[in-house]
Amino acid sequence: MIGKVYLVGAGPGDADLITVKGLKCIQNADVILYDRLVNKELLDYAKDSVELIYAGKLPNYHALKQETINAFLVKYAKKGKNVVRLKGGDPFIFGRGGEEASYLVERGIPFEIVPGITSGIAAPAYAGIPVTHRDFSSSFAFVTGHCKEEDTVKWDSLAKGIDTLAIYMGVSNLPYIRHQLLSNGKHQDTPVALIHYGTTEQQKTVICTLKDVLTIVEKENILNPSMIIVGEVVKLHQQLQWFESKHDSLTSTKKISYSSL
């Protein structure tokens, strides 16, 4: 009997943001292949007999190659196991979930997609930044910060046609991203938020502008994982931030502003 694979979004970091269906999948799993940014607290909900396989990836280093992960999903499903591929955020947003699903289809393995809350929405929400707002933004886009050598990102359209940009894992490539936005018409005074480890107790939010973002990132030693939010909605951070105020006296969570936006 062939088992089933569940491609499950674990959410952005806060364990409480897992969906009910995602949690049920974890509880019923025989095998869980989990990523680096998955909150390990979620694994505590698995049954004692579960087999846990770390499939995490670091920049320039993969604990398991994607081909190996794909093969494991098929291998365990063919043994009749309930297999959970537990991915940070949402499986279909820069998570290679589409590639894994296609691999399963080609080999006749049943599967389900369980969406998760993505960091592009959750991190700014925890920083008091709505990605849309009637006064500031009627459009937003998710953008990969891992730009290939032959960049296919439509920077002209993003700079001129989208109100809010949520850029994933873009800190190491920020000089190039900034250059592309400015050279394609984005104003240098456009507000920018950098949210490090969003939705967790280690969350750190830095507010600046596109003009000075490189200097600020270096000064504050901002690294990945971080969400970069570009747009006028960032101005609402000072008024709407709630998570950092709640935790300021209890944790290392903090906010830093370098601009009176």
What residues are labeled active site? Answer: 35, 57, 169
The residue written with tokens 């690294």 in the block is 223
Please choose, from the candidates 255, 259, 236, the residue with its C-alpha nearest in 3D space to the C-alpha of residue 247.
255
- Residue 173 contacts by C-beta under 8 Å, 6 or more apart in sequence? 145, 146, 147
Whole-angstrom distance, CA of residue 114 vs CA of residue 104: 15
Number of H helices, E strands in the chain: 9, 13
Whole-angstrom distance, CA of residue 32 vs CA of residue 173: 32
How many CA atoms does the CB half-sphere of 64 hold within 13 Å? 16
Whole-angstrom distance, CA of residue 223 vs CA of residue 32: 28
Strand partners for 100: none
Whole-angstrom distance, CA of residue 87 vs CA of residue 203: 20
